Structure 1
Amino acid sequence: MVKGFLSRVVPQGAFFRSLFQSAFTFSVSEDLLTSATFNFANPRHHVVGADCVSQTIPAREVKGLSDEEILALFTSGFFGGFVFRAESWVLNLLGARYLPARYTAFRPGPDAVIVRRASAIPNRSLLPVGSLLFNSFLLVDKHAKTEAETETLSSEKISSKTLAAGSEASSYVDYGFGSDEARFAGCHRIKVTRLAPADNGERADGGQVRIDLEHFRCNPQENKPSWAEKHQTLHYVYAKSLFANGMQALLAR
């Protein structure tokens, strides 16, 4: 337990490696932009800003972990780590009033919970759909591949075409923010894709696993860019740092 706590709140080598090794792009999968989460947050399909931070690691680094455990560990570092700490305090105090996460067409599940403390974020399982984190992040959707599905994918090569199809070869969890009744809304999608080993000696090593943090934001009320587009540099630094904190929780577990 102590090791898991330190993997979130104290910068370690995995954090700094991720800062340098992760890639940042201004594109996300078509799967996210046609998802139920996208339609909840952006029902009028207004213009969006989007980006993705990703990192590919050897499968041996997450050996023994299911897709859901990978997503949960990353979530615990993303929302429960030192990078997000100040924001979580502010959102606990003011988020419900000034930046609530709610969508007109979305209905939370009966077992949804409210999380206000970082220590309450599970690191081995995902929260139920409809759960609310720090008043401002709503778990809208999730899909974690079963062990049988994972084994099937691991025994086959995943082509670039399949990867482009998004969740067909991936497990994911969507955390929505903002409201379709306000001028700001969007989603963070954490995605896990297991890449089958190549025939160049990689097969004995178990292949690779790609972690993506996909993000979109919009103005649901007016068909124009959201205010966040004016802060691209700050967003780049913050997104890379949040991603690195998630990777640290995953790799330094």
Structure 2
Amino acid sequence: MASLPRVTASRAVLAASGITALVATAASAAGLVTYSAVSKHFQIPGSSSPSPPPSSSSSSSSPSAPFTVTSYPASATAPASFTRSRTVTDIINHAGHRITQDSRTVEVRAPKGGCLSISNSSSSSSKSALSDEEILARFVRAFFGGVVFAPEGVVLRALGRRMAWFSKVPTSSAALEIWSKHDLSLTHLPPVSSILFGAFQVLDAYIADEHHQSQRAGISDMVTTRREQADTAGSTNNRGEKEERTQQPGAAESYVDIGFGSDGSWFAGTHRFTVSRYSGGAASTSGDARASGGRPADGARKGDEIDDHDHDEAEAHDVLKISFHGMTCNPRVDRPENALEWFMFRFHRVYADLLFRESVAVVLRHLEERAVAMKVK
């Protein structure tokens, strides 16, 4: 088939980008209405009330819950490991224009050896625990297959058009076109370059758990290639600054980047969903939470004395951190937001908070089911 003239193709991309922005804004409103009607759907396992709003930091647990969940306030800034990543600087915003960013995080804490443990052994308990990729896969499926996204999904399926275009993302024979949540795996992420609902594209993915990474089949070889390139000494971003590695030394963070819009239009951005694990006590606070002023509600109060027994008990926990970072920009023109863009980006941030809350709730419910299954064994 003959290719479109460059001018026609450019106009098509701009039109598609405009449609994407309008769909996202309209779906945000529909998602808010849908959320208010199904608030029980977001109840955290073991909690007697729905999960707290993104603007407040709190923890929830109950005697029946196998873990404690700490929700931190949403932040208007995202970690440098994301904003300086190759996805942002090379694919989305290679012109180096100003960006808007946001971040939200929850931490899940459970006793060591429980539902959060991942080891290299072949024991039954290890097999029962969810790997990083499984958690991300379930998060992605809940994000694009839940009740909040449902109105947007209906509109995108009705349009039936591809609206996500990035010039620096090569085509891949392994890429998929996904139009239904049933096409999203519960155990593996979609291959890099895959298109979701016509408006989103998988741009990068990384699984920190090396044991599981050697067995996984869902990610294309482009991930390894990008990681090797990112490790090249002296690499710089498009602003001439030394680029910070996406994967910080010593950090065990798995992630998937899903872009939207087009780098040839006035609207583009990406979501990064991350999973990381560490051992810590009851008062552990993530870097993201500290940046936004959040702290666990059940943390030690100032002036309290913690004896050695309490400290040892607090340290005997596995901690799972789930984060959702986002950024948007105008790839064509570097200028302050106009009134319409300001409204759209802020309104879309509320929409993202609800999508995050629903996705986390789905993951937590499955973690609780796994914990029960492990106890039965």
Q: Does 1:125 align with 2:188?
A: yes
1:108-146 Cα offsets, whole Å, 9 max, x none, are 332010000122111211011111100011000000112
1:66–1:147 contact (8 Å) kept in structure 2 = no
Give the Cα separation in 2 of the matches to 1:220 and 1:95: 25
Of 221-230 and 30-39, the range deviating more from structure 2: 221-230
2:121 aligned residue: none
Give the Cα separation in 2 of the matches to 1:83 and 1:62: 27
**Aligned-partner residue type, residue 203 of structure 1:** E
Q: Provide TM-score, normalisation by structure 1.
A: 0.82
Q: Secondary structure at the match of 2:44?
A: helix
Give the Cα separation in 1 of the matches to 2:44 and 2:313: 25
Give the Cα separation in 1 of the matches to 2:346 and 2:82: 23
1:49–1:229 contact (8 Å) kept in structure 2 = no
**Aligned-partner residue type, residue 167 of structure 1:** Q
Larger RCO (CA under 8 A, 6+ residues apart)? 1
2:314 aligned residue: 202
Q: 1:238 to 1:200 in 2, by over 3 A?
A: farther
Give the Cα separation in 2 of the matches to 1:18 and 1:108: 41
Give the Cα separation in 2 of the matches to 1:43 and 1:205: 41
Task: Give the one of 157, 167, 171 matched to 2:247.
Answer: 167
2:44–2:364 contact (8 Å) kept in structure 1 = yes
Of 87-96 and 127-136, the range deviating more from structure 2: 87-96
1:23–1:55 contact (8 Å) kept in structure 2 = no
Give the Cα separation in 2 of the matches to 1:95 and 1:101: 12
Give the Cα separation in 2 of the matches to 1:241 and 1:171: 22
Structure 1, unmatched stretches of 5+, are 1-8, 151-163
**Aligned-partner residue type, residue 75 of structure 2:** T
Q: Provide TM-score, normalisation by structure 2.
A: 0.56
2:91 aligned residue: 40
1:233-252 paired onto structure 2 within 5 Å: 233-252=346-365
Structure 2, unmatched stretches of 5+, are 1-38, 55-70, 118-128, 214-243, 282-310, 367-377
**Aligned-partner residue type, residue 177 of structure 1:** F
Q: Secondary structure at the match of 2:94?
A: coil
Q: 1:41 to 1:218 in 2, by over 3 A?
A: same
Give the Cα separation in 1 of the matches to 2:246 and 2:85: 10
Q: Does 1:143 align with 2:177?
A: no
1:141-196 Cα offsets, whole Å, 9 max, x none, are 0001125599xxxxxxxxxxxxx976332110000000011110000000112122
Q: Secondary structure at the match of 1:23?
A: coil
Give the Cα separation in 1 of the matches to 2:246 and 2:278: 13
**Offset at residue 217 of structure 1 (A):** 0.1
2:279–2:316 contact (8 Å) kept in structure 1 = no
Of 227-236 and 190-199, the range deviating more from structure 2: 227-236
2:295 aligned residue: none
Q: Does 1:55 align with 2:106?
A: yes
Q: Secondary structure at the match of 1:201?
A: helix
Task: Give the one of 131, 134, 148 matched to 1:69.
Answer: 134
2:270–2:326 contact (8 Å) kept in structure 1 = yes
Q: 1:228 to 1:73 in 2, by over 3 A?
A: farther
1:67-105 Cα offsets, whole Å, 9 max, x none, are 1111111111111110001011112233626xx111111
2:63 aligned residue: none
Task: Give the one of 309, 316, 322 matched to 1:211.
Answer: 322
Q: Does 1:94 align with 2:159?
A: yes
Q: Secondary structure at the match of 1:189?
A: strand
**Aligned-partner residue type, residue 26 of structure 1:** A
Structure that is richer in strand per residue:
1
2:177 aligned residue: 114
2:115–2:130 contact (8 Å) kept in structure 1 = no
Query: What percentage of residue pairs aligned between the two structures are identical?
Result: 30
Structure that is richer in helix per residue:
1
